[in-house]
Amino acid sequence: MDPREVVDSSCKGPVLFLAFSAITWLLVYSIFSMLAGVKVHASGMMADSAWLSYGRIQPASQLALQFGFLVQLGLAISAWIFSHRGRTVLVDGGYLYIGGLIWNAGVTLGLLGILSGGSSGLEGLQMPAHILPILFTGFVLVGVSLVQTNNRRTDEEMSPAQWFLFTATLWLPWVLGSAFLLIYYFNAKGVMANIIDWWFIQNFTKVYLTFVALGVCSHFFSSFTGRGVIGRGYSMFAFWVLLLFGSIGGVTLGAPVPAWLPALSTVTSVFYFTGIVAIYYVLHHTQNGATAVDESDKDNLTLMRLALIIFALVSVLNLIFAFPGMASTAEFTTYGPAIDLLYNLGFVGLLLIASLYHIFPRLAEMGLSPKITKVQNMAFILGFLVATLPSALGGLMSGDAVLGSGFYFSSVGDLLLLLASLLLFLNFLGAIIMVIKRCDCLSGLCGKQQRKEVKA
């Protein structure tokens, strides 16, 4: 048997389980995001239900997007890459099942806690306090499998893709546990709690999500070109710069804190951008002139290139608006949340979904429906562009009419995202059902049951 088939066989169950859970949470996010957008236009709708107020469904949607979709799909793709990069089977795959179940239970309880009014009031950690240890436990169990798989690799030297993914696997439980201890165990209050929350948001976005996306990018670009990552020295420079300066800052200009904290955030943003330039140079030249190994991967490569362009665009905008002159025009507007959503969906989300398109046929031994995939890709791309860019522009331009138009466009984008996530969910579920029917798993179980009844 081909060694790659052995690796895929070990990854099949755990990776597909985490991927399906992530896609389900993407659908949940799309539903709540659309409801939140409608509430902006029709505030009287569902006004009698406190559970469906804007102040609850909006943070609930962000929880579903970040912790339900992005983190889980990132873990699934990371597990597959660690196995293939290390040329080893997935070690302790059962931990992915157990950790995934605990993680999903934590996200579900956190969602219900926010909807029932138990939100913490902190932007990045909206879930109730008792949910954080559940999430921490679930992630650590999954991380044990990923770390063990990486340690069993046959090549002693790690590739840049493994640098980024391995660091991300260790980073999230550290910042999640630290934030929980500082806020709830050491009882940080008021502005101190908000500073810790901003620190967590900075690390979650600039380090964890960015490192997962860059690790996935590095792996697939080098895989599609058939050569290693170009500029290993640049990759190492980018890795340490992004890790050092991405973990510091995140305090906005108008925050009620000492002036040196926003100034420090501006300085770290400039240095962080130098790391962005270095890694963009590496990834751009790695994928330049790439020819996908399979014909089916050409569309996947195109999606990844689009994600890389969005990564560069958002990085430039973040640098420009890190300075006080520009930051003052965007603060307290819809610009910031819109750009954050563009980064989460347009860069990280699109990259992970394109990676799943490549991985799924190798695990399930059959692909997703090509026609449905094309429609869902168009709906997803148009959805996050329409949901973010007009809203960001409306936030920078004064006038209620401009803001109103931006909100209407965002609602259209939310509707397209709902369509895309629903199609992706049905496409994935339909393919899994076809795989089960093909392998006669259900008939085998029924046959065993019948044999037991005959013997009885």
pLDDT in tens, 353-368: 999 999 999 898 888 8
The reported pLDDT for the residue numbered 417 is: 95
Among 233, 235, 271, 269, smallest CA distance to 252 is for: 269
Phi, psi of 45 (to 5 degrees): -70, 130
Full-model pTM: 0.93
In a domain, 117, yes or no: yes
In a domain, 148, yes or no: yes
448 contact partners, CB below 8 Å, separation of at least 6:
none
Among 269, 273, 310, 304, smallest CA distance to 290 is for: 304
Describe the chain by its helix, strand, coil percentages, rounded to 5.
80, 0, 20
Give the three-state DSSP class for 160. Answer: helix
CA distance 66 to 87: 30
User: Under a CB-based contact definition with an 8 Å cutoff, are residues 145 and 91 in contact?
Assistant: yes
Burial class (CB in 10 A: 0-12, 13-18, 19+), 438: exposed
Give the three-state DSSP class for 172. Answer: helix
Give the three-state DSSP class for 286. Answer: helix
* Count: domains in the chain: 1
CA distance 209 to 168: 8
In a domain, 101, yes or no: yes
Among 24, 27, 46, smallest CA distance to 36 is for: 46
The reported pLDDT for the residue numbered 320 is: 93
Distances (CA, A) of 342 to 124, 274, 349: 17, 21, 9
Query: What would the two tokens of residue 430 be?
Result: 């339909």
The reported pLDDT for the residue numbered 451 is: 39
Instruction: Evaluate the CA torsion angle 76, 81, 84, 85 in order and state its sign.
Output: negative
CA distance 251 to 202: 9
By residue range, what is the domain housing residue 148?
Answer: 1-157
Query: What would the two tokens of residue 85 be?
Result: 């990069």
In a domain, 13, yes or no: yes
The reported pLDDT for the residue numbered 51 is: 80
In a domain, 44, yes or no: yes
The alpha carbon torsion through 306, 309, 315, 320 (nearest 10 deg) reads -130
Give the three-state DSSP class for 354. Answer: helix
The reported pLDDT for the residue numbered 399 is: 56
CA distance 373 to 361: 13
Place of tokens 């002139």: 289
Low pLDDT (below 50) residues in the chain: 441-456
In a domain, 438, yes or no: no
The reported pLDDT for the residue numbered 82 is: 94
**What is the Cα Rg of the chain in Å?**
22
User: Under a CB-based contact definition with an 8 Å cutoff, are residues 132 and 176 in contact?
Assistant: yes
CA distance 52 to 61: 12
The reported pLDDT for the residue numbered 402 is: 60
In a domain, 149, yes or no: yes
In a domain, 272, yes or no: no
The reported pLDDT for the residue numbered 1 is: 55
